[in-house]
Structure 1
Amino acid sequence: MNDGVTCFFFFLRMTALRTMKHLCQATRNENRYAKRFFGTLLTQTAQKWFFSPLGIVVPDLRKSAVFGLTQPFCTDEKSHARPKTKTAFGSVGRRIPYRILHVINQDGESLGNMHRAEALKLMDQHGLKLVLLRENVEPPVYRLMTGQQIHEEQLKRAEKKKASPKPGVVQKELSFSSAIAKNDLETKTKQIAQWIEKKHHVKVTIRQAKGSSTDMLMLFDQILETVSEKATYLSKPKVAREGVSTCIFRHMSSKELKEHKKMEIKKNNTVKKDENEDLKSNELHQ
């Protein structure tokens, strides 16, 4: 009996000793890993600390990663360096970031400088819309316009943008009088065809000669008829100013060329069909 109790207590003692041994080993491992981790961290961040004259260790704010994150998202210098996106022409509504404006009325007359509240009051009173004309001046220039005026101006700008040559596209220019001789017109047309072959844009300007009754728009159509296999209008003929008309020719795209060939084939088939019908009709009458 005494031997059994003695063995039991001996077993408990050995178990307790093994448990204590494992706990001590785990504690030593944790301390070792903690020293490795924090030792590396302290080594990396040691250069971010300096000693003050009072002997107190304080963080160097110039090198601190934490304080570096608290810098403003965008400084004034960076905001000026960022290019401004060009806004589309149209009503700005009531979103006016400037306090003082230079306002022009719907007739194009200057109303002088005024506070934006006064400009908005005029807009509401007359049922007009405010449009930003020039932003890079002091003060910025706004104009009061009707919806119809805005629409017409948008169409003009779209036409101007369409007519302007794209980057990398060469635009040639040619001008002559409406009283041009037939041989000279043929020479000019050949020159246009050569430029079109090279996929250049060709701006043609025709001046109305004194005493000439030639329709300048018909001259443009005549030129296009000669080069119609590859050319079309980029900008249709229009009166630029009194006595002067202009247009721009361009090379047709691959899709346009295919459509043009289809139309020509269809047109030729129609002509042949009409000729055959005329022949049959003549044979019957004979």
Structure 2
Amino acid sequence: MGMSDRTSVSFFSLLFRMAALFLKRLTLQTIKMENTCIRRRLGKYVLQKTGLAEPSHVASAPRPSCLIHAEAFSTEDTQDKREKKKKNETAFRNVGRKINERIIQVLDEKGNDLGPMHRANVIRLMAEQDLRLVLRDPGAQPPRYQLMTGTQIYQERLRLRGMERAEPKPGPTLTKELTFSSNIGQHDLDTKSKQIQQWIEKKYKVQITIRKGKTTEEPEDKMEELCNQILQTMPAIATFSSRPQPIRGGKAVMCVLRPLSQKEENACRSALGTQRGDALNRGNGNDGASDALHQ
């Protein structure tokens, strides 16, 4: 065999090996790709089967956050309903046939006492006379109810609503402050007393601070006397909320005036009226005595 023949055989042998190696790699890559596709398809199949096997209510269950929010919302709704129910129970209303007690005290539509009655008899009386039943006194033993017509209930609600609107609504009490010296002149003191009275009439509290004057001959209790003097200018409308007391090491006195309550104001006016009547009677008696002496 010649040299050229041997070279040709070696070349073809190398080419054959390379082709075999390429085919082997190609086969391995194809098998790997097929295995990957099979695993993907098998995974999807398993997931589909698992999803179909689970109950529908489990698959549609909400997230825990939604559950927590829903529970909180339902709790607030329940609390609001309870508050509205409690408010309605205390309001003036027709209780209908829902009578919780077996024996109740009954008033007729004119306010006459019908005495204790069984709830069955009350319901029958309501049906016979076309009346409604309202709770008047839940604290009584037995609880007191009244039979009323629809018109009476409407008028009573209007009356209670008018009373509620007429009641003054409580608000924050504001405090005015006033400071002056104890050697103040009488004219200036009268001016400040009028200003304090105007504030009191507007339902303000007034904090008065009186500084000790520079005069060394001033009495020790002059500052306290000025506080009392101011209060005496407004009888039946003001009193001390805080009595005069020394502050700043005795260099000043502070007191607080407040308006009288309605009860205190009525009592004070009654006392003033009694004093004026006694003074008038004494004056008339003296005149009568003098007339007798002249006769």
TM-score, with normalisation over the residues of structure 2? Answer: 0.41
TM-score, with normalisation over the residues of structure 1? Answer: 0.42
Q: Which has the larger radius of gyration?
A: 2
